[in-house]
């Protein structure tokens, strides 16, 4: 047993999780590696070699080579059913309803950390760890663990982790949260890891080549359902093949001609309509969200926060009003662009994650 206890490290075959395992072993932990088998590439596309990310056979091979280099135990348990039910089916359903889901958040919430902690309990392991860029600290004043942004703002992944709760945070280690990506690469070379120069994956792991249409066609069958594209006044300006191919704020690939740029303002699944307009029309001062989750003690009433509405957008100052036990009204100090139902609104107090919810609708100015 390592002097600091045992830790189960989720290994994706990438440089971040590999360095996580190496750093923890070097720090004196007894490290065990695990890769969750969540998606079998032979069940997706005719060209399985096009798949990338944390679910491929190549990724498992890379993780196994890293574990061998570090001389740590390594396992590949089957999580296909949990992942399919909680993430893949939800992803397809949301897209077909004109929403823009974030499957990585849902995976973290329902599969990754629940699965890691369950396996750790079964094996009598003290902690779990992943290669996410975020920080977990004990806050004496709040008397609870807090989830914070990573030191490197370009790599911060706290948005993706806002559904973590106290029983998760007390067991989780994020050793990369205080590092820049350049430091991670340097450590990978110092540890002589075979993935030191492996590029980062930018794709959703179960959607090869970012081809959402092909994924949806194979997962749910026929997806084309033509309908009208209308402007903000209701005038028909074009036709679409299915609202699943659009997201709020989208400008390219609309299939319409216009002297001015047009953006998707609204998707109406009930009447199968796509609404477009000027960029200014896509600016909204408020939103409604539900399916709330908080990392610690739940706030009450109304509270100030900075709000992030997409992973790669900056926080925007505003105010959050809890309108029920599981819903909130968010009002921004200034209107924001691209509020998309299905994405997440995450609330921050400085660099501390308060919690967040799933966006139901942007609220236009009265």
Helix (H, G, I), strand (E, B) or coil at 168: helix
205 catalytic residue (yes or no): yes
Reading the block at residue 208, the tokens are 């090869």
User: How far is 130 from 12, CA to CA, in rounded Å?
Assistant: 9
55 catalytic residue (yes or no): no
Q: Which of 79, 32, 90 is nearest to 54 (CA)?
A: 79
- The residue with tokens 């590696």 is 33
Marked catalytic residue, from 55, 104, 107, 289: 107
Q: Which of 42, 135, 56 is nearest to 351 (CA)?
A: 135
- 3-state DSSP of 268-307: ECCCCEEEEECHHHHEEEEEEEEEEEECCCCCCCEEEEEE
User: How far is 210 from 228, CA to CA, in rounded Å?
Assistant: 25
Instruction: Give per-residue burial for 13-34: e unless 16+ CB within 10 Å, then b.
Output: bbbbbbbbbbbbbeeebbbbbb
Torsion of CA 323, 149, 87, 356, to 10 degrees: 0
- The residue with tokens 């070699």 is 49
Marked catalytic residue, from 54, 55, 205, 289: 205
Please give the radius of gyration of the chain, using alpha carbons only, rounded to the nearest integer.
22
Reading the block at residue 87, the tokens are 């993430």
Q: Which of 349, 358, 345 is nearest to 159 (CA)?
A: 345
- Cβ 178 vs Cβ 308: under 8 Å: no
- Cβ 222 vs Cβ 216: under 8 Å: no
Active-site residues, by number, are 107, 205
């Amino acid at each position: 047993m390592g002097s600091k206890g045992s830790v189960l490290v989720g290994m994706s075959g990438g440089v971040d999780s590999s360095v996580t395992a190496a750093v923890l072993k070097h720090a004196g932990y007894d490290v065990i590696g695990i890769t969750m088998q969540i998606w079998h590439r032979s069940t997706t596309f005719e060209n399985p070699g096009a798949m990338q990310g944390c679910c491929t056979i190549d990724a498992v091979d890379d993780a196994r080579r890293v574990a061998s280099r570090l001389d740590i135990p390594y396992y590949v348990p089957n999580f296909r059913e949990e992942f399919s039910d909680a993430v893949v089916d939800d992803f397809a359903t949301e897209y077909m309803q004109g929403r823009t889901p974030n499957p990585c958040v849902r995976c973290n919430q329902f599969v990754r950390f629940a699965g890691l902690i369950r396996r750790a309990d079964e094996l009598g392991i003290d902690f779990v760890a992943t290669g996410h860029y975020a920080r977990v600290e004990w806050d004496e004043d709040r008397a609870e663990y807090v989830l914070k942004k990573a030191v490197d703002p370009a790599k911060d992944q706290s948005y993706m982790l806002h559904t973590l709760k106290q029983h998760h945070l007390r067991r989780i280690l994020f050793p990369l949260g205080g590092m820049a990506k350049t430091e991670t690469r340097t450590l990978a070379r110092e540890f002589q890891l075979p993935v030191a120069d492996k590029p980062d994956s930018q794709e959703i792991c179960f959607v090869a080549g970012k081809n959402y249409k092909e994924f949806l066609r194979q997962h749910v069958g026929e997806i084309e359902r033509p309908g009208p594209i209308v402007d903000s006044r209701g005038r028909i300006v074009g036709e679409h093949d299915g609202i699943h191919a659009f997201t709020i704020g989208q400008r390219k690939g609309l299939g319409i001609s216009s002297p001015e740029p047009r953006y998707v303002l609204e998707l109406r699944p009930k009447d199968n309509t796509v609404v477009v307009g000027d960029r200014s029309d896509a600016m909204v001062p408020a939103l409604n969200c539900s399916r709330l989750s908080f990392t610690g003690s739940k706030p009450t009433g109304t509270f100030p926060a900075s709000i992030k509405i997409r992973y790669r957008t900056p926080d925007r100052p505003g105010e959050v009003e809890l309108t029920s036990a599981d819903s909130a009204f968010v009002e921004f100090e200034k209107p924001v662009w691209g509020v998309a139902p299905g994405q997440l609104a995450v609330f921050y107090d400085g660099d501390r994650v308060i919690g967040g919810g799933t966006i139901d609708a942007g609220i236009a100015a009265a």
